[in-house]
Amino acid sequence: MDASNANTSRRAFFLNGGAALGAGVTATGVSLAGTAQVPQQQPPSQPATDVEAREQLACAQDREAIRQLHYRFVQLIEQRNYEAVAELFDAQATLALSGESASGRAGIAHLLSVGYREQTVAALHEAYRGNARQHQDCITLEANRLGARALWHVDVAIGTPLQGDCTAAQMARLQGLLAERRWEAGRLQARYVKRGEDWKLAVLEYHPHIT
């Protein structure tokens, strides 16, 4: 085979199939016989891949645990299981809902089990539902995965307790009756902390949507 034929054959190889092997085949990847030799590429380090996979799994598990904590809070509020609600909070947590606020788990327990149950507050949250802005909900984990922030878009049922200290009003409050109940669109802004393997609420604030 003369030089011109050799060059033509080599060009035909790259044009008709050799190029399909990709950029990994260099000039040294073609043998003297014209057979393509695919160079051995080093696979990514297996330990690094395992670490990355474990980190991704751990982050997904943390986000799911935070979602479940949020759903638990919503469920317990509607069930009026206020003592269990307080246990979802960290010892130094803060809570602010429609003008009512409390600090520390003990303070939150008092606000809910006394202020809410006995209806001594000006307004109380009775239930939550996801609303049209729910697709904007988000959870952001801190780099060390010991803290997180979340935003939950909700419709909230806000109850206004009956006023007055007469026997009828007191009995009505004990039965959970309200002077008014209305739905309002807003958002819950939350901060979470991880204690051991469990996530706790550190801050929970409700903000109505401004129309």
How many angstroms separate the most distant Cα atoms in the chain? Answer: 114
**In the predicted structure, residue 7 carries a pLDDT above the cut 80:** no
Q: Is the entire prediction scored with pTM above 0.75?
A: no
> Once rounded to an integer, what is the mean pLDDT over residues 94-108?
97
| Per-residue pLDDT at 26 exceeds 50 | no
- What type of residue sits at position 206? Y
pLDDT at 23: 40
Confidence of residue 3 (pLDDT cuts 50, 70, 90): very low
Can you give the length of the chain in residues?
211
Q: What is the pLDDT of residue 177?
A: 60
Q: Does domain 46-208 have CATH number 3.10.450.50?
A: yes
Instruction: At 163, list the tokens.
Output: 């006023």
Which three-class secondary structure state does DSSP give residue 176? coil
Structural domain boundaries in the chain: 46-208
What is the chain's alpha carbon radius of gyration, rounded to the nearest angstrom?
31
pLDDT (tens digit, 9 = 90+) per residue, 60-79? 999 999 999 999 999 999 99
Other Cβ atoms closer than 10 A to 85 = 24
CA distance 189 to 203: 8
d(CA 86, CA 89): 6
Cα–Cα nearest to 70, from 197, 191, 195? 191
Phi, psi of 131 (to 5 degrees): -125, -170
What gap in Å lies between CA 62 and CA 148, rounded to an integer? 9
138 beta partners? 151
pLDDT of 165 reads: 64
The pLDDT tens digits of the residues spanning 147-188 come to: 999 999 999 999 988 765 656 555 665 666 656 789 999 999
Q: Of 72, 75, 82, 64, nearest to 120 (Cα)? A: 82
- 151 to 56, 87, 94, 183, 194: CA distances (angstroms): 21, 21, 16, 19, 17
